[in-house]
Structure 1
Amino acid sequence: MFRNHLKIAWRSLKKQPFFTFLNIFGLTVGMAGGLLIALYIYDELSYDKMFPNSEQIYRLNADIKFGGAENSTAVVPAPMAEVLESDFPQVEATTRFRTIGSSLLKKSGTLRNVKLTGTTYADPSFLGFFGIDLLFGDKQTVLKDPNTVVLTKSAAEKFFPVNEAVGQTLIFDSGETHTVSGVIDDLPRNSFLGEYSLFIAMAGYADAKIPNWGSHNYNTFVKLSPLSERADFESSLPYIVDTYVLTWAQTVFPGMTKEQFDASGNYIRYSALPLTDIHLHSHRKGEMNANNSIQNIYILSFIALFLIVLASVNFMNLSTASSLKRAKEVGIRKTLGSNQFTLIGQFLTESGLISFASLLGALVLSMLLMPYFNDLSDKQLSVPLLEPYFWLIIIVFTVILGLFSGSYPAFFLSRFAPTKVLSGSGSTAVGGGKLRNGLVIFQFAISVFLIVATLVVYGQLQFIQQKDLGYEKEQVLILNDVYALGAKTRLLKEKITDLPQVSNSTLSAYFPTPSSRSDNSFFEEGISDQEKALSMQTWDVDHDYVSTFNLKILAGRDFDPTIYSDSSAMLINESTLKVLGISVEEVLGKRFSSNMVETDYEYYTVIGVINDFHFESLRETITPLSLVIGKNPGSLAIKLNASDFAQTITQIEAIWTQLAPELPFNYYFMDASFDDTYQADQRLGKLFVIFTVLSILVACLGLFGLAAFNAEKRTKEIGIRKVLGASVGQISFRLSVDFLKLVAISVLISLPLGWYVMNKWLEDFSYKIEISWWVLAIAAFMAVAIAILTVSYQSIKAAIANPVNSLRTE
């Protein structure tokens, strides 16, 4: 019987190639899009699950309010790990990291330095903690001695053969010599350690041994015993604040009590976040890696679901629309003895055949598109053709999709009464018009919603690009690692500034693009009460910082190299004034110190107020900031004139090579760094565009097929109207207006939904656009225009047909 069903299904599909093509093509597009998104989501959900006992591992977070600022950090104080192991019986093990960005180092006996990104201090326990095996080295002794390092395989290959790495020495830019004590394999990209290649022994880092509970710099992980609950563990963490943090704070603020601290509104709260939740659920200061958002996963999941449902809806629509053609077939089959279940099996076999044909097309299309999708999503995905579970999942999914897509048409067609359809009196009862109308509304409602979402995402990205950030980021070249030149740093700046294509330059460790930074607590001279603390970032700069970035001096003056006392001067931004609650006139001349040791106060005098400028993502509000003259610059920012940038960079590289031939020449443009901050949002915008186009394409395929069927169904009516004098325009309007009504209803449904959902998405940004009425109007216009273009072809084609031929068809 099944073989018979297959033969009949094949013949039936060959009889109507146009509708068969529409169904297979629509399902292919929907399934390919769904497969690509599913592989992306699977990769995102797999982060950090490769580590043994990952479900027992948690990272400590801190939420702090102090000095008028609220901070959520992924780092905690250095002594936290030791206290957790000694005082918390449910803690099996701990490990810490102290990230330092990148490092310049060279093999002993060579001159040329190599830059390794992803550098961190690490406790020796981290290898066993995360179940990371050594390729070379002794796991019992690795990283236990100061001045030892562990390299990943790729990092080690930059210096020496991997099997000879252990025991070799590397010289850091600071001049310190470190011995390689181990080599590990490259870490998985889908882990929080994926970008790290150099691990330095924490034993050689003095700060890690200081019991300072006021400094939060260490990413700390705990492994709880199998029977321990996260909630019970977190409920015990206030013990650390009461026993250790406040005791330490009382040495800084003598006489301060817990009651006074709580009454001030300040707080310190520690919490534990599951390791496997970090990538999608954490966006705190001090993250070890750039994380994604669970919101983006939800959005992409809905898009994948929409695509597949839209394709299935097409199948239902076209199958029920062609029911008149199959009605007599059903009548004859029932007359010859076929029962309803046999007919249902026949029609489900047809839908299954279409589903499996679409699956093959989707696999081929996915593999063709995968390189472009990987570029877009910054992934290294592939279709896992050799994985049995993959085939099991997609085959089961395809069967379900075939049953879902074909279920309604099968039950709908098998219900026809043979006496009615064979006598011709059942034609009005077999159309399924209400359901088809509902499905068309559903399809276009989704499409309009995606159009609204795409317009809003791109509008926000344009707003970010065009917003006045309060500083100039265009034509600014950042030269990295200038600190490694030591005494030659100033000479490098002078030589580069003398180039005719350079208008200005400045040395600093910090620039107005998001990076790893932390706040310091400042106190006004004569005040040491913790309630009066001011939490503020402090950047080391030189005298040309304000002029290079064209910051505005709102009051007071800029740094002056001829005034010696400016070495202890300070510029503050407008947000600092708001927190202090004083006027510009009152703040000038005030002195602040960040050193809370009474015997060693180091004061900075406020000499000027600069404008607020955005130095964090636009998702964040502008917080207090101070600029001071620094002695240890990290990079050089070079303001270029409009000229041949390539030639200028070549000249700058020549100066660099002359002064530091042993150091690599690394640079980037500030506007490119700014754009990198919003890469995730830009990728989301591009994905919206692509999958919105695909959803509209699938919806239009269905509408095109329905328009063709509708025109064919009304062939006689069209012929009569033409004979009676109706024009092509009138007939086209009559054939199109019914579909446009459905599109109009879908627009009315989807516009409020799109407005609501995208307003929720915009809530993540502190600085954002308002969704204007014209955004909704453009989405509505695009939907109607697409529908008109889709339907009008079939309508005009039917309207210009010879009426004699039309009347002969009956």
Structure 2
Amino acid sequence: MIKNYIKIAFRNFWRNKLTSFINLVGLSLGLAACILITMYVSHEKSYDSFHKDSKRIFTVVGKFKIGDDDIRMTRLSSIVASQLKENDPSVEDAFRYYEHNQSVSIKTSASSSEVFSENNLAAADANLFSFFSFDLIRGNPTDVLKTPFSVVLTNKAAEKYFAKADPIGKQLIIQQDSTYSFTITGVMKDFPTNSSIQSDMIVSMSSLSSMKETQPLLASERFQGGSFATYVKLNDLTKVTAVANTAVQLDKLSNEESTTTYALDLFTDTHAQTANTGRFDYLKVFPIVALLILILALTNYISLTTARAGTRAKEVGVRKISGANRRSLAIQFYIESGIFVSISFLLGIAISSIFKDRFLELLNIEIGNAFFYDRSFITALIGLFIFAVFVSGVYPAIVLSSLNPVKNFKNKLAKNTGSVSVRKVFTTFQFTIAVLLIVCGIVMSTQLEYMRTKDTGLQRSNVMMIPIETSIATNANTLRNKVENLSEVAQTTVAMNKMYGGYNIYFASKENSDENYSVSTFNVDEHFIETLGVSWYLEPEERTAFSENKKVIINQKTIDELGLKQDPRGEQMSFGSQFFEIAGVVKDFNYTSLEVPIKPLAFFVSSEASANKNMMGTFSTCLYVKFHDEVALSGLLDKIENIYSSLDETTPFTYQFMDDAFDTLYKAEERLSSIFYIFMVLALVIASLGLLGLITFASEQRVKEIGIRKVLGASISEIVVLLSTDFIKLVVLAIIIAVPLAWYFADSWLNYFAFRVDMPWWSFVIAGLIAISIALTTVSFQAIKAAIANPVNSLRSE
């Protein structure tokens, strides 16, 4: 019986080639989009769940409040892990992890001339491989990180530095301010891409106390914030709150006045809480859009299948008279749907495989091949397949199996099937979704263009930022002088941070006040404000005053937030335990993303000589180079790189243009917009395919009517209008329904931005015109074909 059902299914597919092709293309595209989204969402949701004890591992987080700001500390002092383990019996084990966020230079031997730059160095406690389920390929798991100056490499790093040779026992020379020799004690598998812990090389935690750069990190004996990610493994999951209370008590022992609270966050939730906000918002948007795309494709299949119910009426009648009951007929049509969905699913997998790399590139993420064998991903795919089979088969099975055999033989379909009304609803739904996506895509592009071109209060163009590592040491001044003397260069300045690359935060208060506020701070030299074109609101009374010690420059927002005088020059502000006199006030400018409002800001300004001496070469700083208009950039970059390389042979020359750094803030939105456009086009293609199938079917059903009308003198244009009007009405109705929905969703997205465009009314006009144009093109193509057909052929059988 099943074999017979399958044979009939393929005969029907072949008999209705155009309908089958439309269904196959639409459903395959829809499933491909869903498979890609399922892959991404499953990967993001599966972070850290591969660890054997993932449900027992927690991240220790500190929380406190400064003014109206809630501060969350994900990095704690070095003693927190051991203190919790010693003082709470529910803590089975504790672990510390330190990310060294500065670039280091690496050689495979002291005599080697080849120098590598490494940005992915970390330190971990000796129990790394017992605490987590990472795989060690070479070495003893309990000993590899036990002794100072031991290091474990990932397989990728081992091949990078030693090719196919065995690295165990060999040395790595790591240099930052000082030079250290590490012994390779182990090689591990590369970290899975869905691990929140990522590093190419991990040194033993005990090494940090012997390294000049990291010794201060271990100096604190207080239970407080610090530099170490701290994890605990509990032996009793009911004691989560109790362990958090233990942390609070230990903190109070260090500082009775502390108001810090602590929480234990499940380790598998860490990625969701620390991931880039824009990227993680994809998890909310993409599944909804992918589901809509799939439903569009499924409604095409359902609509066209039920539309052709009349062509199978006699088949159903014969089967019923021969004894087939409604259940067996429903099973037959379900099997047909299952076969069709299976073929479409396989094609969807093939299409998604072709576009997978491009999709991941747009999202700026990497998914390892091992993940595709992950249980969560396979389960999600099976769920997607079952959903598609169920939805595609349930309505056709009900409609086709319910046909009346008596009326079937009279060539009359039961009026109560409601198939015509359902098809109208499906068509309206499809174009509603298409218009909704078009409007949202236009609004996203408008907002992105606004952010790129908005005057942020800084002159971002023609400014290059060059990271200066401490490896350049005393040559830093020479570098700056030589670069500044280039004819293409207008001016240079120095700051501790790259603009749009981060900043420090101090807790500040005004004079004679105990209320603290979080204030962003930049350490800069005296040319910074002029070089970047920051405008003065209240200029220092003496131009040299603001570079004197214990002087600070603030922005207008600081006046408002702290309740300072409108002219606060001469007032004192405390930053931590130090007091500074306000020397001047700059106008507010955007130093972070336009998603957030401008916040209080302070500049600690040094003279050029002081900055050259105390900042450059002593700390990792940034040299800003402002160059003239219409400069040959390739030539300028070559000159600067030659100067840099001659003064620092160990650190590769890197740079970033400030306008590129600003644009980087909106990469998440740009990616979202790009993928949204893909979905928009996909929705339009699927909706158009469905419309093409329905107008083709309508033309076939009315072929004799069209012939009679032509014989009676109807023109081609009149027949085209006759066939097109009903469908265009549905598209217009879809536009009317989509407008308020699109307004709501687009406006909600815009509300995420502190600086946003007004809702562009013209986006609805453009979306409507696009939808109507595509519908007219699709409908007219088939309507004209039907209208120009020879009426003799259609009437010959009468």
SS at match of 2:588: coil
Cα distance in structure 1, aligned partners of 2:173 and 2:552: 39
Percent of aligned pairs with the same residue?
Answer: 31
Contact 1:588 1:606 (C-alpha < 8 Å) held by counterparts: yes
Which of 567, 571, 582 is the matching residue for 1:590? 571
CA contact 1:511–1:615 (8 Å) conserved in 2: no
Which residue number in structure 1 is paired with residue 419 of structure 2?
A: 432
Write the distance in 2 (CA, Å) between the matches of 1:332 and 1:68.
76
Quick one: which amino acid aligns to residue 573 of structure 1?
N
Q: Secondary structure at the match of 2:441?
A: helix
Report if the CA contact (8 A) 2:85-2:94 is conserved.
yes
* 1:769–1:146 distance in 2 versus 1, CA, 3 Å: farther
The answer as to whether partners of 1:173 and 1:484 remain within 8 angstroms in 2 is yes
Stretch of structure 1 that moved more, 741-750 or 426-435? 426-435
- 1:527-546 equivalent positions in 2, closer than 5 A: 527=512, 531-546=514-529
Q: Secondary structure at the match of 1:703?
A: helix
1:169-188, Cα deviation, whole Å (9 max, x unpaired):
52422124243364442322
- Structure 2 CA distance, aligned partners of 1:689 and 1:231? 46
Contact 1:116 1:198 in 2 (8 A): no
Aligned partners of 2:576, 2:7: CA distance in 1, in Å?
86
Which residue, out of 576, 590, 614, partners 2:558? 576
- Which stretch shifts more, 179-188 or 494-503? 179-188
Gaps of 5+ in 2: none
**Is the CA contact 2:124–2:202 (under 8 Å) kept in the aligned structure 1?**
no
Corresponding residue number in structure 1 for 2:90: 90
Report the counterpart of residue 203 of structure 1 in structure 2. 209
Mean Cα deviation higher: 662-671 or 762-771: 762-771
What is the CA deviation profile of residues 385-428 of structure 1, one whole-angstrom value per residue up to 9, with x for unaligned ones? 99597778757754653343133223212222222222244475
Write the letter of the residue equivalent to 1:640: F
The correspondence of residues 53-202 of structure 1 with structure 2, limited to 5 A, is: 53-66=53-66, 69-107=69-107, 108-110=110-112, 113-135=115-137, 139-140=141-142, 143=145, 149-155=151-157, 159-160=161-162, 163-164=166-167, 166=169, 168=171, 170-180=173-183, 182-185=185-188, 186-195=190-199, 197-199=201-203, 201=205, 202=208
Q: Aligned letter for 2:485?
A: D
* In structure 2, C-alpha distance between the alignment counterparts of 1:11 and 1:348, rounded to whole Å: 15
Q: SS where residue 102 of structure 1 aligns? A: coil
The change in CA–CA distance for 1:613 and 1:111 in structure 2 (over 3 A counts) is farther
1:287 matched residue in structure 2:
none
* CA positional deviation for 1:303: 2.3
Per the alignment, residue 257 of structure 1 pairs with none
2:594 maps to 618
Question: Pick from 438, 441, 448: which aligns with 2:428?
Answer: 441
Provide the C-alpha distance between the structure 2 equivalents of 1:724 and 1:85, rounded to a whole number of angstroms. 94
Among candidates 634, 647, 652, match of residue 659 of structure 1: 647
Distance 1:452 1:353, change over 3 A: same
Instruction: Name the counterpart of 2:581.
Output: 605
Q: Retained in 2: the 8 A contact 1:94–1:222? A: yes
Contact 1:355 1:399 in 2 (8 A): no
Which residue number corresponds to residue 46 of structure 2? 46
User: Structure 1 residues 131, 5: closer, same or farther in 2, change over 3 A?
Assistant: closer
Supply the distance in 2 between the matched residues of 1:413 and 1:146 (Cα, whole angstroms).
75
Which letter does structure 2 place at the counterpart of 1:483? T
Q: SS state of the match for residue 237, structure 2? A: coil
In 2, the alpha carbon distance for the partners of 1:135 and 1:481 equals 37
CA distance in 1 between counterparts of 2:277 and 2:131 reads: 22
1:488 maps to 2:480: no
Pick one of 661, 676, 679 that aligns with 1:688.
Answer: 676
Match of 2:501, SS state, is: coil
Asked if structure 2 preserves the Cα contact closer than 8 Å seen for 1:279 and 1:292, the reply is no
Aligned residue for 2:237? 227
Residue in structure 2 matched with residue 460 of structure 1 by the alignment: 447
How far residue 706 of structure 1 moved from its aligned partner, in angstroms, is 0.5
The structural deviation recorded for 1:648 is 1.0
TM-score between both structures, scaled by the size of structure 2: 0.89
Aligned-residue offset at 1:558: 9.8
Mapped partners of 1:104, 1:788: distance in 2: 62
Following the alignment from structure 1 to structure 2, what is the Cα–Cα distance between the partners of residues 784 and 231? 59
AA in 1 matched with 2:267: L
Q: How does 1:377-776 map to 2 (within 5 A)?
A: 377-381=363-367, 387=373, 398=385, 401-426=388-413, 432-515=419-502, 517-523=503-509, 527=512, 531-557=514-540, 566-585=548-567, 587-594=568-575, 596=577, 603-628=579-604, 629=606, 630=611, 631-633=614-616, 634-641=621-628, 642-776=630-764
Alignment partners' CA distance in 1, 2:661 and 2:529? 20
Amino acid paired to 1:581 = G
CA deviation string 1:293-315 (max 9, x = no partner): 55321322122222222222111
1:143 CA displacement: 4.9
1:666 aligned partner, one-letter code: T
Distance 1:183 1:459, change over 3 A: farther
Q: Bigger shift: 49-58 or 337-346?
A: 337-346
- AA matched with 1:543: E
Q: Which has the larger displacement, 670-679 or 639-648?
A: 670-679
Q: Could you tell me how far apart the structure 2 residues matched to 1:208 and 1:243 are?
A: 19
For residue 139 of structure 1, report the CA deviation from its aligned partner: 4.8
For 2:510 and 2:393, how far apart are their aligned partners in 1? 75
TM-superposition CA deviations, 1:259-293 (whole Å, max 9, x none) = xxxxxxxx54332222111222335xxxxxx5765
User: Offset of 1:200 from its aligned partner?
Assistant: 6.0
Q: Is the 8 A contact 1:543 1:559 kept in 2?
A: no
Instruction: Tell me how far apart the structure 2 counterparts of residues 70 and 323 of structure 1 sit (CA, whole Å).
Output: 62
Greater shift in the superposed pair: 415-424 or 315-324: 415-424
Inter-CA distance 427–546: structure 2 relative to 1 (3 Å threshold): same
Shift of 1:655: 0.9
Amino acid across the alignment from 2:41: I
Judged with a 3 Å threshold, the aligned counterparts in structure 2 of structure 1 residues 617 and 74 are, in CA distance, closer, same or farther, namely farther
Specify every segment of 5 or more residues in structure 1 that has no aligned partner in the other structure, as ranges: 250-266, 284-289, 597-601
1:14-33 matches, within 5 Å, as 14-33=14-33
8 Å CA contact retained: 1:63, 1:73: yes
Distance 1:35 1:335 in 2: 43
Aligned-residue offset at 1:499: 1.3
Instruction: Report the Cα distance in structure 1 between the residues aligned to 2:698 and 2:79, rounded to whole angstroms.
Output: 75
- Distance in 2 between residues matched to 1:399 and 1:68, nearest whole Å: 49
Counterpart CA distance in 1 for 2:508 and 2:361 is 45
State the shift of 1:110 in Å: 4.2
Distance 1:603 1:10, change over 3 A: closer
